[in-house]
Amino acid sequence: MKIGVVGCGAVGSYYGARLARAGDEVHFLLRSDYDAVRRGGVQIRSPQGDFRVQPKCARAPQEIGICDLAIIALKSTANHEFPKLLPPLIGPATTVLTLQNGLGNEERLAGVAAKDQIMGGLCFVCLNRLEPGLIQHIAHGQVVLGEFQRWPEPRTHDLAGRFRTAGIPCTVTDDLARTHWEKLTWNIPFNGLGVASAAGFDAVCSGQLPDASPLRECLTTDKLLSDERWSKLLVELMLEVIAAARGLGFEVPVALADKQIQRTRAMGTYKASTLIDFERRQPLELQSLFLEPLRLARCAGIQVPRLAALCRVLEQLNPGRCPGFSGPPSC
């Protein structure tokens, strides 16, 4: 299978490397990391065993050409680049798979590909990009695949099997939208509070940064869980996200909150991706991860005061706004 990977950070590099190791023809679309990856390949450090692969490298999508599978692992802040990056990779038979966080990514892809070509994948994995071409796999790695606005197809199960052959635990969901909300029960509290903790607990609860107050050190997952006030707030946010999902008609169980907490305790010290973006002074994925869920919750008439306050703080802390940023959500 010819596979193009667009967005070769931690997620794209890790899954692309595993597919390349399994024998697929994998092309990485690279910018700043081009020279390092072309020279030294991609190295994965993992408790499951370290390995290195040499993917094919390209600076422009035209160098790759039409693929059987296009994997999109860009930050959602770069979704405005879809019309420039993706058309050279997509033919009539190409499957377009987004592994991005949050809501609305499949809808944006529908502007450059046919709906029946689009799939979504949810990655339940702990990864960090240490330097160009070097990825640290810390724990987990499961991918849940689903079709955009339709039931699973034979190709859905075929792709899941290919992922499993590459050493990637993979299952298929019959409702991609519901599974997005299930993942948001982790992403919103841990990504959000990891960044917002820099403003302090009181600011996060009120939704307003104090005037001229210096920022604190951001809290990793273990520190959020070890502090009684923060851990209580984590659970409250999770329950709001679950209430929003249920209000929208998705059967997300309340017990998922406790399961997410227990899984995260087992991870130890971990910096969520939004916290890493914040430390690097990069724009945060506010729209897909926080503002769109807030908008949908409000449209469903669900009260989510903790989420609303968190969004206000994150908007104030955001190091930069991305092109196409739509501002505070409204119904």
SS (H, E, C) 212-224: CCCCCCCCCHHHH
Give dist(CA 280, CA 283) in Å, integer: 9
What is the Cα–Cα distance from 86 to 3, expressed in whole angstroms? Answer: 13
| Chain position carrying tokens 């502090």 | 227
Using an 8 Å Cβ cutoff, are 224 and 230 in contact? yes
Residue 259 is among the residues annotated as catalytic for this protein? no
Contact yes or no for 250/177 (Cβ under 8 A) = yes
Say which residue the tokens 């790695």 belong to. 141
Dihedral of CA atoms 48, 51, 53, 59 in degrees, nearest 10, equals 80
Beta-ladder partners of 143: 123, 170
* Helix ranges restricted to H, the chain: 10-21, 34-40, 61-64, 82-85, 105-109, 154-165, 176-186, 192-196, 201-206, 221-226, 228-247, 256-267, 273-279, 286, 292-299, 305-317
**Token digits of residue 223:** 């520190």
Q: Active-site residue among 2, 84, 183, 223?
A: 183
DSSP assignments along 252-310, one per residue: --TTHHHHHHHHHHHH-S---HHHHHHHTTPPP-HIIIIIHHHHHHHHTT---HHHHHH
Task: Just list the catalytic residues.
Answer: 183
